[in-house]
Amino acid sequence: MRLLLDAVPPQHELEGDRDPAGGLSLPRGRRLRGDDAAPVVVIGAGIAGLGVSLALARRGLHVSLFERAPVLDEVGAGLQLSPNALRVLAELGVITAASASAVEARAVTLRAWRSGRTIARVPVGGSDGTPYLSVHRADLQRSLVAAVVQDPRITLTLGTTLRGCRPIAAGHALAFETAGGGQTVEASIVVGADGVHSRLAASLGLAPPQDTGLTAWRMTVSAPSGGATGGIEAWLGASAHAVAYPIRAGQAINVVVLGHREAGTAGEPRAEALAKVEGWDPRLIGMLRGAGEVSRWPLLTVPPARRWHAAPGILLIGDAAHAMPPFAAQGAALALEDASVAAQLLAGSASAAQAFDRFESLRRPRVDRVRARVAFHRRIYHLPFPFSLGRDMALRLRSAERLGTDLAWLYDWHPPA
């Protein structure tokens, strides 16, 4: 399925240029000054880029949003939206649209890998009553895109791939490659929201993403007649774990198997996923066998020491700044948090430098705490026997209230006033 945007402006027919020595130089063609019509240039129209564009526009700033895809395809499958993410969506005015086909969860059920028996039920949801939802990524993206194209302060341009960035007197010159050749955009403020493979980060000479050694096999299966009723479930094994949760108003189930992929293998993704959970709960095996197309996604991270205020006037947010494995289901939530905080600081600071320095000092402690929680989950989810017996006993002895309290610091975050 494709999200076709009739409101997206056409690309300019421009001629590109290259350095005689073979290096890339800025293309010839029309120059757009970001500090005139659009004070903020945002790179990437994923959740982070769409979110920060809306947050900036809500505060009266004009935004030029550039996305390398020629159309916004339905990419990915399900994701989880914890209360901290939903509060940002409410702030952006898209909570109703984003949650229209979502499914609310009261708890995450942890299960034994072989038998499927319940180890523990971890309550989710905010202490203020904000729910926890599971949703198809495309449904969330669609609601954000609809709000973006309706806002006159945002100009969204597709089919523009960033090829380079260099400092100039006015800020930065961004070289884009388009179907017609090239385009140069001059901007004083740039927000990089272009994901773990961030071209903006690469153009600034930042270290490339790192392989975690983990792979996620993702798939969607049709729910039984009457809709999915299992809620969010996680099966914990010695070297892998699996997660399943309903999406599309309960008419489909998103299933993910996470574990190490054997080096040098190039098997069919479904066969690889089934091999990872061989001998596991028959209900889980049945979902894998009945799923549609299975995709394989190597899980990458960026170096924890990466600077987010990477150069004067440039800020990285979302996965471009702090991609991490999905063991706490916070990828989308952190991207939306970044968007809200960055917009608030830009709108209320005397300069971009002041705003971006403040952003990093405010956000890094929280992101580091989430990163530590992700590492903790990775360890305890994949504990081998007999250590897994101690884990299961400790979880059973801990009350649901205490289990919920453990994550209150994460889910009770609010956007800045």
Known catalytic residues are: 245
Strand partners, 133: 81, 104
**Cα-based angle 383, 388, 392 (whole degrees, multiple of 5):** 130
Q: Is 18 exposed, middle or buried (0-12, 13-18, 19+ CB in 10 A)?
A: exposed
- CA dist., res. 118 & res. 355, Å (int): 47
Alpha helices of 133-192 — where are they, by DSSP H? Answer: 137-150
Which run of H or E residues covers position 105? strand 103-105
By C-alpha distance, which of 83, 108, 381, 103 is closest to 232? 108
Distance between CA atoms of residues 258 and 237, nearest Å: 10
| Alpha carbons 365 and 202: distance in angstroms, whole number | 24
Sheet of 31-33: strand order equals 31-33, 181-187, 171-178, 161-168
